[in-house]
């Protein structure tokens, strides 16, 4: 059974490999260029245990198989109490409930943070498992970015989900 814990710097090679798979093989992320280990190590420095930006990882049989993170939503300062999430599992570990486990723990942690008011999940459509997961965890549909991104020669719609954290 997967265990969920906070991310560590030593998880970065595994997380880099997971995100790079989706960067090169799919439109679920709008990142276009593969991440280096240095990039992931820098990315890791933003996370704390009790702040706006947190990282939870899922571990199965001593291997890191996925993560859920809260990240800066927008650079304009009044958006600071809103965070954006990111969730990716190793492609062989999807559909087993691990996504629900790691994402729900991240949301529970964010509920404890006074500085976080809204959580946004941006889902490139269609993505049935991600859509289902957001709805199951209490996100509401906040809007649609019609053809909001262009990847692999096509425009893609993006659904914005909002979690109010009971606030």
Ligand X SMILES: CC(C)(COP(=O)(O)OP(=O)(O)OC[C@H]1O[C@@H](n2cnc3c(N)ncnc32)[C@H](O)[C@@H]1OP(=O)(O)O)[C@@H](O)C(=O)NCCC(=O)NCCS
Residues binding ligand X (CB under 6 A):
22, 28, 87-89, 94-100, 123, 127-130, 132-133, 136
Whichever of 28 and 71 has its CB closer to ligand X, that residue is 28
CB-nearest residue to ligand X: 99
Closest distance of CB 114 from ligand X, Å: 26
Residue listed under structure tokens 């062989």: 92
| Smallest distance, ligand X to C-beta of residue 81, A | 21
Q: Please, which residue, 18 or 116, has the CB nearer to ligand X?
A: 18
Cβ-based nearer residue to ligand X, 125 or 165: 125
**Nearest to ligand X of 15, 98 (CB atom):** 98
Q: How far is the CB of 132 from ligand X (least distance, A)?
A: 3
> Which CB atom, from 13 or from 50, has the smaller least distance to ligand X?
13
Residues 6+ apart with CB under 8 A from 30: 124, 149, 151
Q: How far is the CB of 69 from ligand X (least distance, A)?
A: 11
Query: Cβ of residue 112: shortest distance to ligand X, in angstroms?
Result: 22
């Amino acid at each position: 059974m997967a265990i969920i814990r906070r991310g560590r710097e030593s998880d970065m090679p595994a997380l880099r490999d997971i995100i790079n798979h989706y960067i090169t093989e799919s439109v679920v992320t709008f990142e276009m260029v593969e991440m280096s280990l240095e990039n992931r190590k820098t990315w890791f420095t933003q996370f704390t245990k009790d702040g706006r930006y947190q990282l939870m990882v899922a571990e199965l049989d001593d291997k890191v198989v996925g993560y859920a993170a809260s990240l800066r939503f927008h650079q304009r300062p009044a958006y600071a109490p809103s965070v954006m999430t990111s969730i990716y599992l190793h492609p062989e570990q999807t559909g087993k409930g691990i996504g629900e486990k790691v994402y729900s723990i991240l949301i529970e942690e964010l509920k404890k943070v006074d500085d976080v008011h809204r959580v946004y999940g941006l889902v490139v459509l269609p993505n049935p498992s991600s859509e289902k997961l957001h709805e199951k965890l209490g996100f509401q549909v906040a809007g649609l970015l019609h053809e909001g991104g262009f990847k692999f020669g096509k425009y893609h719609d993006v659904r914005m989900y909002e979690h109010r954290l009971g606030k």
